[in-house]
Structure 1
Amino acid sequence: MKKTILISLLAAGSLLAGCTTDDPVRQAKEQSVQQLEAAGITNMENDALFAAEAASSNLLQIKLGQTALEKAVSPEVKALAEQLANDHRQMEDELETLGSQTHLVLPASLGKADKDVFDAINEKSGIAFDLAYIKAMEEQHDRLTQRYEDMAKNGVSMEVKQYAARQLPLLQMHLQKATKLEEVVDDAS
């Protein structure tokens, strides 16, 4: 009997260990949900995940922008990188204010998916860096635009919905600029 209990405890422990995550986005989401539920606020899982993902994405844009200013070859890529980094820094400042007002925990570092994107681009240099950066910016901003549109319509918290709606035109502009720059680069190659 003791052996069965021990085996059951070990199995449960390994299941729990498998559920833990080193992803700062998931950790922030879980902390947000716990804090919100402790305050009596429920059904905020998607809002909490959105806030954590948005923070990680802002950090990615800032970090990639700074890297592109150092590594990019094309002046157009550097100009786009500078604008994106500045705009996402402002978005992050606003998100941090929102987080402090609404019990939403934001990650202080890149989430796993965003870290993978950064690492894949950062390992390149020269024109390969420029091409990878432009492609990633288009893909990232396409994804962000869709996610922010969804949250502007379907967020639970009015504050989260308003934040998403306010940022959406800027993200759409970023997507247009990245798409246009990618088309220019594709035509040149």
Structure 2
Amino acid sequence: MIKRVTLYLASAALLLGTASCGPGDSIEQAAAQSVEQFEAAGMQGMKNDALFIAEATSANMLQVQLSDLALEKAVGPEVKEMAQEMGQGHRRLMEDLQNTAVQGEFVVPNELGSSDQKVYDEVSGQTGIGFDLSYIKRTREEHQTLLKRYEDMAENAKVMEVKQFASKQLPLLRQHLQMAEALEDRLGDI
């Protein structure tokens, strides 16, 4: 019992302290901390699940931040409409993800991973119609990647809660991908 409480407190401390862990990518740090605590508890083979939870957290933070940015900077009403829907969907997804992470005692990053930060910086540096097109393109590309990763985890996650979380999110990710593709097709001729 004491070991479990100690592990829980250590998990909470790691969860809160991930962003201040020194140099390196926040996704890799969070995944490594998760694996370390699982191995200390005698659980092996958790790297893929831990990495997925960390990647998904960063990716969803990115989608929320990009949608907020698009609501502020986009010039096209259809782009703002897409951003509104993306933001709402990814906020709900993030709540589910946080519950899954807490339940499974995974450590999550508190800031974007380096590759997600690059995407944000790239899109946020655009203005006008260039911003709209960049936002739509990157949203489509990110959702293609997310969809593949979630499909893989729905099949191959070791932890049942992770498998269920990934499976539950697939319809939303497919809907978001289709929305971005359709808008990119409509605006692609500009």
Size of the alignment, in residue pairs? 169
Partner residue in 1 for 2:110? 108
2:26 pairs, out of 13, 24, 27, with 24
Q: Report if the CA contact (8 A) 1:73-1:126 is conserved.
A: yes
Partner residue in 2 for 1:56? 58
SS in 1 for 2:84: helix
SS in 2 for 1:77: helix
Residue type matched to 1:85 in 2? G
Find the aligned partners of 1:21 and 1:32 in 2 and give their Cα distance.
17
What do residues 107-134 of structure 1 show as CA deviations (whole Å, max 9, x unaligned)? 1110000000000000011000000000
Unaligned runs of 5+ in 1: 1-19
Cα RMSD of the aligned pairs, angstroms, is 1.0
Find the aligned partners of 1:55 and 1:79 in 2 and give their Cα distance.
23
Q: Report if the CA contact (8 A) 1:21-1:27 is conserved.
A: no
Name the % identity: 49
Aligned residue runs from structure 1 range 133-152, under 5 A: 133-152=135-154
Partner residue in 1 for 2:131? 129
Unaligned runs of 5+ in 2: 1-21
SS in 2 for 1:54: helix
What do residues 109-167 of structure 1 show as CA deviations (whole Å, max 9, x unaligned)? 10000000000000011000000000001100011001000000111111111000000
User: How does the TM-score come out when normalised to structure 2?
Assistant: 0.87
| Pairing 1:153–2:155 present | yes
1:21 to partner: Cα distance: 5.0
Bigger Rg, structure 1 or 2: 1
Partner residue in 2 for 1:183? 185
User: How does the TM-score come out when normalised to structure 1?
Assistant: 0.87
Find the aligned partners of 2:174 and 2:40 in 1 and give their Cα distance.
36
1:71 to partner: Cα distance: 0.3
